Amino acid sequence: MRKKNLAATLMPQRSLHKAVFFNRDGTIIYNGKQHYIYRTEDVVLNEGVVEGLRQLQQAGYLLFIVTNQGGIAKGIYTHEDVKKVHDYLRHSLTEKGITITEIYYCPHHESIKTCVCRKPSPYMIHLAVEDFQIDRNASYLIGNNLRDIKAAEAAGIKSIKIHKNQSILPAVNKIIGPPRKRINMNLDESEF
């Protein structure tokens, strides 16, 4: 007969959460002619973002954004500019009933100085996994850049690559399946 580890028996089990990580610019936010998005007036959501995020949230996924913001290291914009964009983005989505659990960003750029956090490093994903008890086996990253996909693979989560500014809905459907048709169950006797 095997002896049970008493400490393991008495310790409460932490439940793990499933999550979807997103690149910001080109996946969530439309990234047209401008290379960097650091002003709130430049924040335009890509087609399908609101519906896709809502479907994932309703399916029980925590939602995260992991983004490289190398314009900070280059002196093009500041941490405060990024905070304003992220606050604006969160507020806009909250008004639509969507909660972004956390936004992680790397302020560095390899042309200035190397770091541990810039994608394709999995560092930001690892932080979220630890901070929010994420189940890697039940989690995904949706991104429009090869750096995103490499970060997901290095973090041990599944990845779905989309084209820049493409709707996230096809990727969401790969994760949770296509939306089901709704059936009206409010039948009264006059319908029989």
Q: Which residues are annotated as part of the binding site for Zn(2+)?
A: 106, 108, 115, 117
Distance in angstroms (rounded) separating the CA atoms of residues 191 and 141: 46
Q: Which residues are annotated as a binding site for Mg(2+)?
A: 25
Q: Which residues are annotated as a binding site?
A: 25, 106, 108, 115, 117
Tokens coding 174: 């790969």
**What b/e readout covers 144-168, taking b as 16+ CB neighbours within 10 angstroms?**
bbeebbbbbeebebbbbbbeebbeb
